[in-house]
Structure 1
Amino acid sequence: MGDEEKVIIVEGRSDKEQIRKIIDEEVTIICTNGTLGIERLEQLLYDYDLDHKQVYIMVDEDSAGHKLRKQLARELPHAQHIYVDRTYREVAATPAPELATALLSRSIMVHPFFLV
């Protein structure tokens, strides 16, 4: 999957802002704003050409996040999953060093500053 464009799918704007601060490469971050209807999901697949990109799913560790992860995994079987520690529950509430380590584990470049 070499130089394919990377896309991270998150739930909310605060998740997006938190990740944006940490990553150190060009990555498109898509907010779903919660669960997706079929039409909206199809539109995202089409608009972002997700079948031909390196896709990462990073959602909250709660029931809404699990539901969204399942839905996205069905539509994007090639997507890689990035998990946050269950104790923090939310991507936005996860400490930056934890997020940086999780992102780096999927070969997403992060600012070294966050790797404490």
Structure 2
Amino acid sequence: MIMDDSMHKVIIVEGKSDKEKLFSILDEPVEIICTNGTLGRHKLEEMAAAIEHRDVYILVDADDAGAKLRKQLKRELPNAEHLYIHKMYREVATTPLMYLAKVLLGARFNINKNCLG
């Protein structure tokens, strides 16, 4: 897990495919951290300490694993902003680009205009 302090915004996602999808939508430098599922207590504390002074957003799948991770992250990063996808999409990676773009736009991210239809 590499932390890049030069970027002010951080989005925490579950997997690599989520990260790639967000990079295709975003039109600004954002660090995207993959948890690859749930994190051990030590890794979670280490990550939280490294990013606590930055704007942190949490975008995880709308399933049980995502809910568990969100709960963990809420404890360690109480000031993080939580972004949600609709339950019908279940996974960030399979959520339509336009829908994800609108979620990110609502959180004040700069979006690649091609993703807005």
Q: Is the shorter-chain TM-score for this pair beyond 0.5, marking a shared fold?
A: yes
Q: Which amino acid is the alignment partner of residue 52 of structure 1?
A: H
- Residue of structure 1 equivalent to 2:21: 18
**2:35 corresponds to 1:32:** yes
Report the CA distance between 1:43 and its aligned residue. 2.0
Structure-2 residue corresponding to 1:41: 44
**Number of residue equivalences:** 111
Per-residue displacement from partner, 1:2-42 (whole Å, max 9, x unpaired)?
A: xx800000000000000011000010000000001101112
Runs of 4+ displaced beyond 2 Å: none
Once the 2 structures are TM-superposed, how far is the Cα of residue 44 of structure 1 from its aligned partner?
1.3
Q: Percent of aligned positions with the same letter in both sequences?
A: 54
RMSD: 1.0
Which has the larger helix fraction? 2
Structure 2 residue ranges without an equivalent (≥5): 1-6
Give the whole-Å Cα distance in 1 for the aligned partners of 2:84 and 2:38.
17
> Where do 5+ consecutive residues of structure 1 fail to align?
none
TM-score computed with the length of structure 1 as normaliser: 0.92
